[in-house]
Structure 1
Amino acid sequence: MNQAEVLLIGGRAGVGKTTVGWQVSARLRVAMIPHCVIEGDFMGQAHPAPEGDPSRKKIAERNLTAVWSNYAELGYRRLIYTNTVSVLTDSEGMFQRAMGAGVRIVRVLLTASDATAHERLTCRELGSELEHELKSSARKARMLNEQAPADTVRVATDGRSVVEIASDVVGATGWLTGAGGSAHRWSASGPDEDGGEM
């Protein structure tokens, strides 16, 4: 497999993107499917914002390009990327530039009710950011619902275990069914010398 593929996991704050991303990774590890994980929020975490880049999009893309380049050099072709708005079409160009024009993009939007998001954020945010996060989460939930492309797979998280949610997310990729036997010839250093593909 030579084509790069990226699973974009988006959704409002408090929906469980990071937790689901790691559970997806756990499922793929059990199946011996090579992949890597990037928490998109970390790609632009700089204060103050770089000059001329108030939204931090440019630095996020530079960092994604650099990190993916390292993974790709080692033979990885599948990426799990979590970030609130990653599923929107204006992010597509960033992944094409960072991972190659032929990258296959799978968009999954995790959804949660206001009550569920409030409960999760209240448990998570122990500092001064809770009120801001609650308002921002509700605003972005509306925006994502309206602007997510038609090919986005929506996965509800209310009242469901992370294992159930991750199962739906992995199903959207086709990675488990399309892995074949070659995935089991993968080692930590890359494909075996017998030419096994990812």
Structure 2
Amino acid sequence: MRALLVTGPVGVGKTTVAEAVGDALAAAEVPHAVIDLDWLRCSWPSPADDPFQLELELRNLRAVARNYADAGAQRLVLAGVLERRADRSRYAKAAGAELTVCRLTADLSVIRERLAVRHRHDSGLRWHVNRAGELEEIFASAGVEDFVVAADRAVAEVAQDVVTRWLAEERM
């Protein structure tokens, strides 16, 4: 089993690109699963010592990845936020797979536009815009990724770049 974790700030397009990578794998007839990690930690309330519910996310990933492997998946495409290089091994262990990490980037003005559309009917826009900038700073120093792909282009182009780079990383 091999896994790709598509990471980056909120609004960069992680889930959309992960789904497009899944489409590319399906077209190539590669058994796989796409998992949006946000949903694996979506519960309330969050523990005070784990506000983004990483521990719950990893426990759920362990179970879901095992189920997909049992169903025949050979690749996992994960979409989520990986903030610390030290957590890479925890994700790999939970997924039961060799892990490659792709970080998506886009200009903050592009991210703001995307978030404005996503949050046009709720009050979360300001928090998400602030979090996007905060995450960009974290990623710049954390070095969580194996490679970086610009995500301010058409989704199909971004996904193709991600797949090409992922395959290149696997061959190394």
User: TM-score, normalized by length of structure 1?
Assistant: 0.78
> Which of 97, 103, 110 is the aligned partner of 2:104?
110
Letter in 1 for 2:138: M
Higher helix share: 2
Structure 1 counterpart of 2:139, from 136, 144, 158:
144
Partner of 2:39: 42
The one of 156, 163, 170 equivalent to 1:163 is 156
Distance 2:149 2:108 in 1: 15
Aligned to 2:117: 123
Mapping 1:6-155, distance limit 5 Å: 6-50=3-47, 53-85=50-82, 88-100=84-96, 103-126=97-120, 127-149=122-144, 152-155=146-149
Structure 2 gap segments, 5+ residues each = none
Distance of 2:155 and 2:49 partners within structure 1: 39
Q: Secondary structure of the equivalent of 2:29?
A: coil
Cα 1:36–1:136 shift into 2, 3 Å: same
- Number of equivalent positions: 169
> Do the aligned partners of 1:53 and 1:59 also contact (CA within 8 Å) in 2?
no
Report SS of the residue matched to 2:62. Answer: helix
Q: Shift of residue 55 of structure 1? A: 4.1
User: Any gaps of 5 or more consecutive residues in structure 1?
Assistant: 179-198
2: CA distance, partners of 1:32 / 1:134: 37
Matches of 1:75 and 1:52, distance apart in 2? 36
Q: Which amino acid aligns with 1:84?
A: V
Q: Percent identity?
A: 32
The residue aligned with 2:167 is: 174
SS in structure 1 opposite 2:4?
Answer: strand
Measured at CA, do residues 171 and 70 of structure 1 come closer, stay the same or move farther in structure 2, by a change above 3 Å? same
Root-mean-square deviation (CA, aligned residues, Å) is 2.1
Could you tell me how far apart the structure 2 residues matched to 1:135 and 1:50 are? 22
The 1:30–1:59 alpha-carbon spacing in structure 2 relative to 1, beyond 3 Å, is same
Scaled by the length of structure 2, the TM-score of the pair is 0.89
What residue number does 1:184 align with?
none
CA positional deviation for 1:60: 1.0
